[in-house]
């Protein structure tokens, strides 16, 4: 038995793509467009999400180009306002929220719990159609004039003072919200009701726990966004007065309703990514995650606490001092479970047997960058420093560190980690490691200067800025160029690998987990027969036992 690298395995040389798998089961466009197979739906999502990511990325490129110079010389300020608004809307609602759950989650959660599909396959397909409808509507709004409300569409600006496509975009986000709700609903029902025999809650992979926590947030939080959008549209169209102080309404009511969803939304975005990191760190240390129970409970704790901190986005908006105390304290509490997870992942490395494949590199990047992002969140949770730092580039840097340095890296880690399972082929290791490195370097160059810009006072959403901020902005744009290259490379080599990648075999990483015990790509029904789970999660001793069994045959 070869022990040189983790990828070179007993069956590697004889591995073939199985003739019968979920991709080959049926052919034809309709078999994809009317599928109930969670894996096909995951693939559909993967393609569409990537499409929206690049549109959002192009908009980001435009932002950085404009900000090379202090003057508003690349585009009119109105256009710039539209560009950053649409960048935010697309990236949040059409990329980050569905990214891991709808692609990797959809693909893996039934397999990880030992089921043949999600509980509600038709709802799953509906979810994708809703996402596509919302996306098309959003693109239509973009193409026919755009929207310049900012992704936060604050009232009364969005309801009374703008003449762009607010209603269309609001409707698009409303529909996308239902896509998200249905995904979360499906996950919760599946995890509760379709675990295979022997699969107790504490034998589930931590990826399932994280997605479960995120699903709770999706299901309970997104409807509040939906009703907020309805109110904004009614206010805009009919002038009902709910947010209009001259009619007795209250603009702060909008803020409360909006942030009641939008804060849990950030945990919807990050928790699935954290789930990926649990899987990759354990696999590439060949060890059970350190403190499994702590990590599982931390995920749920983040979800629960995440509902009670929304007004930390409103510290300077005239909330009472007592409200501030409550929300600031709760925000400090919600930061702790994330810290617990980081340390648990770090200690998973202890006495492990570590290799540095691309998913592991992205995971290391996640751990460092999310730590910075999370700690800078504490700067903002402390109400005193928030006064100076809020509404500046410090905030922009903070959320890009957690979302891009954190979540996007986790997404890429997951895509690379499960690429062999989903496609049956390996990605090219060297170039992907290079891409990971380029991404890491580009990211830091892009967003670290923004912390300094924010501390210096540069406000966010500014098309022009005082000249003394130029140097840092130039650094940031230079980094963005590098970052763009880092994101383009995976598209190229992953597509290439579909035809020319090495055949992966069932378990190229020699990982535990039900998904690695079945063929790559899996059968449509995942398992020939429902498995019985008789060992713990991340049971590498069990895996060794299995390998001995195979070797002795």
Partner 1 sequence: MSDSQVVVHGAAEGAHHEHLPYQRHHFETYAQQSDATNFAMWLFLLTEVMFFGGLFTAYLIFRNWYYPAFVEASHQLDIRWGTANTAVLIISSFTMAMGVWCAEMKKQAGLVLCLVLTFILGLGFLGIKTIEYSEKIEKHHVPGFHYSIQSFVNPSSDPEVHAKNPEDKPLAYDMARHTEIYFFLYFAMTGMHALHMIIGIVLLGFMIIRARAGAYTTGHVTYVENFGLYWHFVDIIWIYLFPLLYLISRH
Partner 2 sequence: MSHISPVLWQFLVKWLTNFSLYPPQASTIAPQMDALYFFMVLVSLIGLTIVILIVTAFSIMYRQKKHPIPVQIEGSTMLEATWTIIPLGLFLIMFVWGALIYFRVYTPPANAMNIYVVGKQWMWKAEHPGGQHEINSLHIPTGRAVQLTIISQDVFHSFSIPAFRVKREAIPGRYTTVWFEATTPGTYHLFCTQYCGTDHSHMIGDVVVLTPDDYKRWLAGSTSGASLAQNGERLFASLSCAACHNTRPDARGPSLANVYGSKLTLASGQSQLADEAFIRDAILNPSQHITQGYAPIMPTYQGQISEDGVIALVEYIKQLNSDYRIQQTTNTTTLLPESEGGKATPAGQKPAGQGMVKQ
**505-524 positions binding partner 1, by CB under 8 A:** none
Of 148, 197, 189, nearest in space to 168 by CA = 148
The verdict on 262 binding partner 1 (CB under 8 A) reads: no
**3-class SS of residue 304:** helix
Tokens encoding 220: 């309970």
One residue of 39, 40, 82, 195 binding partner 1 per CB under 8 A: 195
Residue 3 beta carbon to partner 2: minimum distance, rounded to whole angstroms:
7
The verdict on 121 binding partner 1 (CB under 8 A) reads: yes
- Report which secondary-structure segment, H or E, holds 50: helix 38-66
The verdict on 32 binding partner 2 (CB under 8 A) reads: no
One residue of 13, 24, 31, 77 binding partner 2 per CB under 8 A: 77
Q: Which residues pair with 377 in a beta bridge?
A: none
**142-181 positions binding partner 2, by CB under 8 A:** 148, 150, 152, 154, 156-157, 160-162
Closer residue to partner 2 (CB): 468 or 534: 468
The verdict on 257 binding partner 1 (CB under 8 A) reads: yes
Tokens encoding 45: 């999502």
Size of the site for partner 1 (CB under 8 A): 54
CB 267 within 8 A of CB 306: yes
The verdict on 87 binding partner 2 (CB under 8 A) reads: no
CB 356 within 8 A of CB 313: no
**3-class SS of residue 532:** coil
One residue of 249, 414, 490, 508 binding partner 1 per CB under 8 A: 249
Residue 58 binds which one of partner 1, partner 2, none, with CB within 5 to 8 A depending on kind?
none
Residue 243 beta carbon to partner 1: minimum distance, rounded to whole angstroms:
10
End-to-end CA, the chain: 13
The verdict on 300 binding partner 1 (CB under 8 A) reads: no
CB 60 within 8 A of CB 480: yes
Of 479, 453, 365, 459, nearest in space to 412 by CA = 365
**441-480 positions binding partner 2, by CB under 8 A:** 452, 455-457, 459-466, 468, 471
Closer residue to partner 2 (CB): 50 or 72: 72
**370-389 positions binding partner 2, by CB under 8 A:** 371-372, 375-376, 378-379, 381-388
CB 206 within 8 A of CB 295: yes
The verdict on 437 binding partner 2 (CB under 8 A) reads: no
Burial class (CB in 10 A: 0-12, 13-18, 19+), 200: exposed
Residue 461 binds which one of partner 1, partner 2, none, with CB within 5 to 8 A depending on kind?
partner 2
One residue of 65, 139, 226, 378 binding partner 1 per CB under 8 A: 226
Give the integer Cα–Cα distance in Å for 150 and 405: 22
């Amino acid at each position: 038995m070869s022990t040189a690298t983790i990828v070179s395995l007993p069956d590697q040389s004889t591995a073939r793509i199985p003739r019968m798998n979920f991709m080959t089961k049926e052919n034809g466009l309709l078999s994809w467009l009317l599928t109930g197979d969670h894996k096909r739906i995951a693939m559909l999502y993967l393609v569409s999400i990537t499409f929206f990511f690049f549109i959002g990325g192009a908009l980001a490129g435009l932002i950085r180009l404009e900000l090379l110079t202090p003057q508003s010389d690349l585009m009119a300020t109105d256009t710039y306002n539209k560009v950053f608004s649409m960048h935010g809307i697309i990236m949040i609602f059409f990329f980050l929220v569905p990214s891991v759950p709808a692609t990797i989650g959809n693909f893996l959660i039934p397999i990880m719990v030992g089921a043949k599909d999600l509980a509600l396959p038709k709802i799953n397909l509906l979810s994708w159609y809703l996402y596509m409808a919302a996306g098309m509507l959003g693109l239509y709004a973009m193409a026919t004039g755009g929207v310049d409300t900012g992704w936060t569409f604050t009232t009364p600006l969005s309801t009374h003072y703008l003449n762009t496509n607010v209603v269309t975009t609001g409707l698009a986000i409303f529909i996308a919200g239902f896509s998200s709700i249905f995904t979360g609903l499906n996950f919760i029902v599946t995890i509760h009701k379709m675990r295979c025999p022997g699969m107790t809650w504490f034998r589930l992979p931590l990826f399932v726990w994280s997605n479960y926590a995120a699903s709770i947030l999706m299901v309970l939080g997104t409807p509040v966004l939906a009703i907020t959008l309805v109110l904004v549209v009614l206010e805009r169209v009919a002038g009902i007065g709910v947010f209009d102080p001259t009619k007795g309404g209250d603009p702060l009511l909008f803020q409360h309703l909006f942030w009641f969803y939008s804060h849990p939304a950030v945990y919807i975005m990050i928790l699935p990514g954290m789930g990926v990191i649990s899987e990759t760190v354990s696999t590439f240390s060949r060890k059970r995650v350190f403190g499994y129970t702590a990590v599982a409970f931390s995920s749920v704790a983040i979800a629960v606490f995440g509902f009670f901190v929304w007004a930390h986005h409103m510290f300077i908006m005239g909330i009472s001092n007592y409200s501030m105390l409550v929300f600031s304290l709760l925000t400090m509490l919600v930061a702790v479970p994330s810290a617990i997870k980081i340390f648990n992942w770090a200690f998973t490395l202890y006495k492990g047997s570590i290799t540095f494949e691309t998913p592991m590199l992205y995971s290391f990047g996640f751990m460092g960058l999310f730590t910075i992002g999370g700690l800078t969140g504490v700067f903002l949770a402390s109400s005193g420093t928030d006064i100076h730092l809020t509404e500046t580039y410090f905030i922009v840097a903070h959320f890009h560190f957690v979302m891009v340095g954190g979540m996007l890296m986790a997404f890429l880690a997951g895509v690379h980690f499960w690429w062999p399972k989903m496609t049956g082929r390996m990605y090219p290791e060297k170039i992907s490691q290079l891409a990971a490195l380029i991404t890491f370097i580009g990211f830091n160059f892009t967003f670290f200067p923004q912390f300094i810009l924010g501390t210096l006072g540069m406000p966010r959403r500014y098309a022009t800025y005082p000249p003394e901020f130029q140097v840092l902005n130039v650094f940031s744009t230079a980094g963005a160029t590098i970052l763009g290259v880092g994101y383009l490379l995976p598209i190229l080599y992953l597509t290439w690998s579909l035809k020319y990648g090495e055949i992966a075999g069932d378990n190229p990483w020699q990982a535990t987990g039900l998904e690695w015990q079945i063929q790559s790509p899996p059968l449509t029904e995942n398992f020939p027969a429902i498995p019985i789970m008789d060992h713990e999660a991340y049971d590498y001793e069990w895996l060794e036992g299995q390998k001995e069994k195979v070797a002795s045959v």
